[in-house]
Structure 1
Amino acid sequence: MSSGADRLLPALVHHIVNTLGWPGLRPLQAEAIDPLLDGSDAILLAPTAGGKTEAAMFPLLSSMEEQSWTGLSVLYICPLRALLNNLQPRLAIYAGWLGRTADLWHGDVSSGARKRILQEPPDILLTTPESLEAMLVSANIDSRRLFSSLRAVVVDEVHAFAGDDRGWHLLAVLERLSRIAGRPLQRIGLSATVGNPDELLRWLQGSQHSRPRSVVAPSGGTTTTPDITVDHVGSIDNAATVIATLHRGEKRLVFVDSRRRAEELGAALRAREITTFLSHSSLSADERRRSEQAFAEARDCVIVATSTLELGIDVGDLDRVIQIDAPRTVASFLQRLGRTGRRAGGTRNCLFLCLEESAVLSTAGLLERWGAGWVEPIVAPPHPRHIAAQQMLALALQENKIGTHTWREWWGDLPLFDEHQTEIFDHLLAEGYLERDGPMAFIGLEAEKKFGRRHFMDLLAVFSAPPEFTVLTGREEIGRVGDDVLLADNHDGPRVLLLAGRGWKVGHIDWKRRRCFVEPSDLPGRAKWGGSEGGLSFALTRSQRSVLLGTNPAGVRFTRRAASVLAELREKHSGDVADNATVFRRSSGELRWWTWAGIAANRTLQASFPRVVDPRQRTTDQSLRLQPDLSNNELLRTLSASAALSPPHVNKSALHGLKFSSTLPSELASETISERLADQRHAQFVLFEKRLFSQAEN
């Protein structure tokens, strides 16, 4: 056994060797033993399939026995129900070696199973943050009894939580659980490689920042060079032809950036008689499960997925990963690349199939950063004031009433709350979300009206979901379509949807219950979902500029088609890029500022210089269109004038995209969104860069 395993429970070591047949522990598993047994909070870092679950649970199981933990003592939290379902059998086996139990609690778990858990709580409970909070506020659950023995929390895929508002929600719920349990909870985060693990761990600790902490990230690992290829194919049909032709007899996982594209590619592959499965968030849970199970058991097949399969859900051994265009982050690419090369003698690989010429540049920029060993830092969204308001209401539900001057004690100094916390609380009182009774406050009529349906379940979900139709064939749910226009627009002939990679002819639409009844069809269907495109970061956009200036990503092969496109892009943008400088270029009566700063920095510059930047444009990552009649001197004078940068303007309609925005004063809600759209640091950086002027040839 590996060094350090002697501190694990002997019975556990016996099963690791004899039941699992492991000759030893992996480096991460060995290095995690001492800090976790010593009670430290920790971040455990390893690639996908790096043994992170065992690295966390083996020491916790040892502590459970040696310290005689009883009742529900460990929570295992995941961002996806499918990941929980995938992990529970494995954790139940490990716990069973010691006579312990591990069980599931989430929205798909039956009422009978829940009653059994409440009567006999397991030692380990696998769940989501939303389900945890639902337990805390439920009138049918004695949460103080259920969580009184809680000792430790494992947060799987912690980077996925920390990067959005679900992370703030998770931290707030953990603070409430710690107070109920009457002790600090050991917090263990599991993550793929991130650029700032120390900061991520401090964030995970919440108000427990005085506790010991340890980042466990063994060096080394695989030394095999990944096989990375970039190709330009021009269309979904061409991509389907390449996928159908290459690597026959192998299991291929194809990542796409949207549900619509997944459906289109799935249909194109099936038209070429390729065994194809789909996985995305608008398919029913049963449909996804069937696809993932069939794919895991098959050989010569393809599964087309959005980011739903980026996280650690097991779909068996893969031969190939194929990426349509580029993901938005290096971290996402690493997660997907880590899906391959798991078998002995296997090689990690990824084939990029670019549909647009611009995607070749995006891919090259991403791979340039990857080749340099850079990974994005994980940064929690700033100013989560709407989550603060949600937590005030959730606490009022949990406790039935809260002290108007003491409610803040539940969260310690968690930075969820800022200098506006009293203003938010007063707004909740003024608008009737809370009602005052002397020094106490309780849930008001406005909260009942807005969030009270289905036992306040809408209050417990951090994100707003757009109205969707459930699509059914007979009694079987296929999935959901999220755009009413798809069902209501005028056109000739039958209405055919594309869902689960197949065509479905629309029969009856139940508008009141939002159900759409369909039957199979051989006619071509349409896939359409709403959603806005996000931009790239400053770092990735700057890496595109480096590529245009001649930098080639290390360890990456470009096909002849992709290399030709890249050469053409370098020629096309030769007047738009300069080393350590931004470029102002006049061309065909247009003046454009090539900042290469990313969409958030460009939004900030656009808002800060309304006399210079044309407001009638769609902001992009690379450049801004300026007022064409400006002279060079006027431009320089305006940009050099000392003034504070302005946050982007927020349209009132954008407030609907911020869940719980109505629980904030309207100006504060707008300010919150605006601050999240901005990147003042990199906008300031651009303003201090050298400036060059370029004139396009006529």
Structure 2
Amino acid sequence: MNEERLLDPVVLHHVVNSLGWPDLRPLQRASIGPLVQGDDALLLAPTAGGKTEAALFPLLSRMAEQSWTGTSLLYLCPLKALLNNLLPRLERYAGWLGRAVALWHGDVATSARRAVLWQRPDILLSTPESLEAMLVSVNVDHRLFFAGLRAVVVDEVHAFAGDDRGWHLLAVLERLTRVTDRPLQRVGLSATVGNPDQLLTWLQGSGAGSRPGRVIAPELRDKPAADSTAPPPGQIELDYVGSLTNAAKVISALHAGEKRLVFCESRQTVEELGQLLRERGITTFLSHASLSADERRRSEQAFAEARDCVIVSTSTLELGIDVGDLDRFIQIDSPATVASFLQRLGRTGRRPGGTRNCLLLCRSGAELTKAAALLLLWGRGWVEPVVAPPEPRHIVAQQVMALCLQEHRIGDRLWSAEWNGLGPFGPGAEPIVRHLVDQGYLDGDGGLLFIGPEAERRFGRRHFMEMTAVFTGPPEFTVLHGRTELGRVDPSLLTEKVPGERRLLLGGRAWRVTYVDWRRRRCFVEPADGGGRARWTASGWVGTGHALTRAMRDVLLGADPPVQLTARAKTRLSVERDERSALVHPGGSMAVRTAKGDLLWWTWAGLRANATLAATLSEVVDPAQRFDDYAIRLRDNLTSEDWRSLVADAGHRICLPEVNDRAVAGLKFSTALPERLARATLAARLADLPGAAALLDEPVRFVVLSP
């Protein structure tokens, strides 16, 4: 069958005549049949692979053929900036059929929201958090507004699925299904992932197994990382530079006249590198989450329109925000995951005749080893599976309270039906609901549950806005130059003692602090001629994963990634291998006694596996349970004979890691859970049972380093 014939004739006419496309891409052609007939689907393609059109053209055709009315299509994204970026494109496509598109998120003005409620656009662009805010708002008749809803597109679905925003998304979609009283077609868009079938099943939620669904990825091979869009090894270069100053020298000296996107793994590094590049006369723009939305927008727009410039970013530009055609992708140190590397790599080579490319600049031997390991995994065609975090009990508590806000009152025996049997939200959540009632988060009367005084006290500010946000961010101070918001900074920069005037680094520029409003958490600044510091508190990171740390071990044992290594990288990698030669062995792990008498078990297993091992092997592990991504400290007096006798049965009694009080306090909505359930949730998420079991199956060699 000629799939294009299934598209609405008007859509097909504009694809050919308005867009000037001679043909559809394979993904766009393959998606037409399943989406037109209403199947769920996961569309996979590299960045800039035409996924938005692959979803929209068939769904617009279905909208026209079946005469959908009202708000019939939701388009959900993880970032407001991505929604803003997509709006003009979707307006153009919908306009071909006389259909309307609108935005709804936290930055949309009140007057614009009123217009959305009055006009009910055919396509609504939103985030899951803003969608839930609509469901619980007293100003939105959600049953009327969503009465015509038929389909949901989830862009960058992998960015949701791997954390609690994914559970929140699924729960809200199940509640929408109840509101509309019909199953909703679910279409996910994603870059390469390691487990596409499981990701589709996850996206289908309670409909998995009962609704047809397809993974559509015609442009990818069985090993997705080694697909036809991957550049030849010569286009990926790994270099060792030793410092951020040297990285700035390399970036400013190479690729003059080109448009370069530089990714860093922290906001502090973005700020420091931006300042260094500007000092060298390089036209430089910055983007990260603690810059104000206006600052990021101005920076991204200026970069999109310029040539011979650099934009330095954290992962905020990793997703599909359009910053124009790029010549080159540069990475400072190693990305956290192969999936992240692939997403960033896909930002380059989009112009005809362009080539995807990357230059990795590492500041330390450890980062060089990690980057080499990541590229080794990439060369093997391996990508991380996207796995939902287990046991989201805190999200269950949040959802039950949100449902009470939405419906005002719910039956104390009927609440679990609102999620259509979606695992964590079923009858097994009864202890959580009982706790909510016992602690006053919910009140009950006559077999009905409703919001209680404790939920009002803790989450009721600003119309329960705190309840619709799944994450708790660290407290930050807003920085203002006059009335212009520049961004936010860590409060420690305003409290630590400094000689002379206090200076901040924000937006790649130095600022002198003139006044701090402690009560309103605001800081006023004026431009300074240099200096300044940047700092933010990191949160939510659970260390390097098992596969990547094991690949680092492979690199130290001599494996080279299939990319071009500079002479500096080869020399430094040789030094790393020499210095760590006693810590790795091809036949198993190493327990190494240092000259100081410390005994370290070099597992190369990742933080979560090491946390699991430390909890399981309490007989041999240092009482303080000190460990990191690579090693665990054992008791100083442990012998190899003790080891064999004490851990002989460890593989049959692996247990969950211990959780500290600070971690419990950092879990949002943990106060709405019994403490034991909050700890059990975090312990399950910190554990890596398969990784720990794999280590226990390996022999351990005890060695003593010479003084």
Which TM-score applies when normalising by structure 1?
0.98
Following the alignment from structure 1 to structure 2, what is the Cα–Cα distance between the partners of residues 618 and 404?
A: 46
Matched, 1:510 2:517: yes
Tell me which residue corresponds to 1:649.
658
Q: CA deviation at 1:687?
A: 0.6
Tell me which residue corresponds to 2:223.
none
Q: 1:435 aligns with which of 428, 443, 446?
A: 443
Matched, 1:123 2:131: no
Tell me which residue corresponds to 1:663.
672
Matched, 1:356 2:364: yes
Tell me which residue corresponds to 2:530.
523
Q: 2:416 aligns with which of 408, 415, 419?
A: 408
Partner secondary structure for residue 424 of structure 2: coil
Say whether the 8 Å CA contact 2:329–2:344 is kept in structure 1. Answer: yes
Matched, 1:33 2:32: yes
Following the alignment from structure 1 to structure 2, what is the Cα–Cα distance between the partners of residues 542 and 489?
A: 39
After TM superposition, the structure 1 = structure 2 runs for residues 217-616 of structure 1, keeping only pairs within 5 Å, are: 217-219=217-219, 221-222=228-229, 224-225=231-232, 227-417=235-425, 420-481=428-489, 483-532=490-539, 534-554=542-562, 556-588=563-595, 589-616=597-624
Q: Which letter does structure 2 place at the counterpart of 1:225? A: P
Say whether the 8 Å CA contact 2:517–2:523 is kept in structure 1. Answer: yes
Q: Kindly tell me: are residues 493 and 622 of structure 1, through their superposed partners in 2, closer, same or farther at Cα, counting changes over 3 Å?
A: same
Tell me which residue corresponds to 1:187.
186
Q: CA deviation at 1:3?
A: 4.2
Tell me which residue corresponds to 1:74.
73
Q: CA deviation at 1:623?
A: 1.4
Following the alignment from structure 2 to structure 1, what is the Cα–Cα distance between the partners of residues 427 and 277?
A: 54
Q: Kindly tell me: are residues 351 and 268 of structure 1, through their superposed partners in 2, closer, same or farther at Cα, counting changes over 3 Å?
A: same
Matched, 1:152 2:151: yes
Say whether the 8 Å CA contact 2:493–2:535 is kept in structure 1. Answer: yes
Q: Which letter does structure 2 place at the counterpart of 1:560? A: A
Following the alignment from structure 2 to structure 1, what is the Cα–Cα distance between the partners of residues 303 and 231?
A: 27
Q: CA deviation at 1:648?
A: 1.5
Q: CA deviation at 1:104?
A: 0.7
Following the alignment from structure 1 to structure 2, what is the Cα–Cα distance between the partners of residues 337 and 463?
A: 28
Q: CA deviation at 1:592?
A: 1.6
Following the alignment from structure 1 to structure 2, what is the Cα–Cα distance between the partners of residues 253 and 418?
A: 45
Say whether the 8 Å CA contact 2:416–2:426 is kept in structure 1. Answer: no
Tell me which residue corresponds to 1:64.
63
CA deviation vs aligned residue, 1:282-326 (integer Å, no higher than 9, x gap): 000000000000000010111010000000000001011110101
Q: Which letter does structure 2 place at the counterpart of 1:174? A: L
Partner secondary structure for residue 640 of structure 1: coil
Say whether the 8 Å CA contact 1:263–1:501 is kept in structure 2. Answer: yes
Gaps of 5+ in 1: none
Partner secondary structure for residue 510 of structure 2: strand
CA deviation vs aligned residue, 1:19-39 (integer Å, no higher than 9, x gap): 000000000000001111121
Q: CA deviation at 1:697?
A: 3.6
Tell me which residue corresponds to 2:161.
162
Following the alignment from structure 1 to structure 2, what is the Cα–Cα distance between the partners of residues 416 and 281?
A: 31
Following the alignment from structure 2 to structure 1, what is the Cα–Cα distance between the partners of residues 530 and 11?
A: 57
Following the alignment from structure 2 to structure 1, what is the Cα–Cα distance between the partners of residues 371 and 569?
A: 10
Q: CA deviation at 1:629?
A: 1.3
Say whether the 8 Å CA contact 1:134–1:460 is kept in structure 2. Answer: yes
Say whether the 8 Å CA contact 1:603–1:648 is kept in structure 2. Answer: yes
Following the alignment from structure 1 to structure 2, what is the Cα–Cα distance between the partners of residues 682 and 558?
A: 30
Following the alignment from structure 2 to structure 1, what is the Cα–Cα distance between the partners of residues 74 and 178?
A: 15
Partner secondary structure for residue 612 of structure 1: coil
Following the alignment from structure 1 to structure 2, what is the Cα–Cα distance between the partners of residues 585 and 420?
A: 46
Q: Which letter does structure 2 place at the counterpart of 1:62? A: S
Q: Which letter does structure 1 place at the counterpart of 2:636? A: P
Say whether the 8 Å CA contact 1:3–1:30 is kept in structure 2. Answer: no
RMSD between superposed Cα atoms in Å: 1.3
Following the alignment from structure 1 to structure 2, what is the Cα–Cα distance between the partners of residues 114 and 424?
A: 35
Following the alignment from structure 1 to structure 2, what is the Cα–Cα distance between the partners of residues 653 and 691?
A: 33
Following the alignment from structure 1 to structure 2, what is the Cα–Cα distance between the partners of residues 490 and 569?
A: 38
Matched, 1:207 2:215: no
CA deviation vs aligned residue, 1:188-209 (integer Å, no higher than 9, x gap): 0000000100000000000011
Say whether the 8 Å CA contact 1:606–1:615 is kept in structure 2. Answer: no
Q: Which letter does structure 1 place at the counterpart of 2:74? A: L
Say whether the 8 Å CA contact 1:497–1:504 is kept in structure 2. Answer: yes
Which TM-score applies when normalising by structure 2?
0.97
Following the alignment from structure 2 to structure 1, what is the Cα–Cα distance between the partners of residues 500 and 428?
A: 56
Following the alignment from structure 2 to structure 1, what is the Cα–Cα distance between the partners of residues 68 and 190?
A: 26
> Higher mean Cα deviation, 528-537 or 391-400?
528-537
Q: CA deviation at 1:373?
A: 0.6
Partner secondary structure for residue 583 of structure 2: coil
Say whether the 8 Å CA contact 1:601–1:682 is kept in structure 2. Answer: yes
Following the alignment from structure 2 to structure 1, what is the Cα–Cα distance between the partners of residues 423 and 244?
A: 45
Following the alignment from structure 1 to structure 2, what is the Cα–Cα distance between the partners of residues 498 and 559?
A: 32
CA deviation vs aligned residue, 1:194-245 (integer Å, no higher than 9, x gap): 0100000000000011100000011454365251111111111111111111
Tell me which residue corresponds to 1:687.
696
Q: Which letter does structure 2 place at the counterpart of 1:102? A: V
Tell me which residue corresponds to 1:678.
687
Say whether the 8 Å CA contact 1:230–1:353 is kept in structure 2. Answer: yes
Q: Kindly tell me: are residues 618 and 305 of structure 1, through their superposed partners in 2, closer, same or farther at Cα, counting changes over 3 Å?
A: farther
Partner secondary structure for residue 42 of structure 2: strand
Q: Which letter does structure 1 place at the counterpart of 2:254? A: L
CA deviation vs aligned residue, 1:543-600 (integer Å, no higher than 9, x gap): 111111221112x111111111111111122222222411222221222211111110
Following the alignment from structure 2 to structure 1, what is the Cα–Cα distance between the partners of residues 242 and 42?
A: 41
Q: Which letter does structure 2 place at the counterpart of 1:435? A: D
Say whether the 8 Å CA contact 1:584–1:692 is kept in structure 2. Answer: yes
Q: Kindly tell me: are residues 101 and 658 of structure 1, through their superposed partners in 2, closer, same or farther at Cα, counting changes over 3 Å?
A: same
CA deviation vs aligned residue, 1:403-441 (integer Å, no higher than 9, x gap): 111000000121233675111000000000000112001
> Higher mean Cα deviation, 27-36 or 619-628?
619-628
> Higher mean Cα deviation, 411-420 or 445-454?
411-420
After TM superposition, the structure 1 = structure 2 runs for residues 80-95 of structure 1, keeping only pairs within 5 Å, are: 80-95=79-94
Say whether the 8 Å CA contact 1:598–1:621 is kept in structure 2. Answer: yes
CA deviation vs aligned residue, 1:652-698 (integer Å, no higher than 9, x gap): 12212111000000111111111111111210111111222333344
Following the alignment from structure 1 to structure 2, what is the Cα–Cα distance between the partners of residues 192 and 169?
A: 21
> Higher mean Cα deviation, 644-653 or 355-364?
644-653
**Number of aligned residue pairs:** 695
CA deviation vs aligned residue, 1:617-660 (integer Å, no higher than 9, x gap): 65222211211211110012112134522222111122121110
Say whether the 8 Å CA contact 2:104–2:125 is kept in structure 1. Answer: yes
> Higher mean Cα deviation, 407-416 or 574-583?
574-583
Tell me which residue corresponds to 1:101.
100
Q: CA deviation at 1:615?
A: 3.9
Following the alignment from structure 1 to structure 2, what is the Cα–Cα distance between the partners of residues 154 and 457?
A: 24
Following the alignment from structure 2 to structure 1, what is the Cα–Cα distance between the partners of residues 594 and 480?
A: 53
Following the alignment from structure 1 to structure 2, what is the Cα–Cα distance between the partners of residues 407 and 229?
A: 55
After TM superposition, the structure 1 = structure 2 runs for residues 38-53 of structure 1, keeping only pairs within 5 Å, are: 38-53=37-52
Identity %: 60
Partner secondary structure for residue 340 of structure 1: coil
Say whether the 8 Å CA contact 1:387–1:416 is kept in structure 2. Answer: no
Q: Which letter does structure 1 place at the counterpart of 2:73? A: V
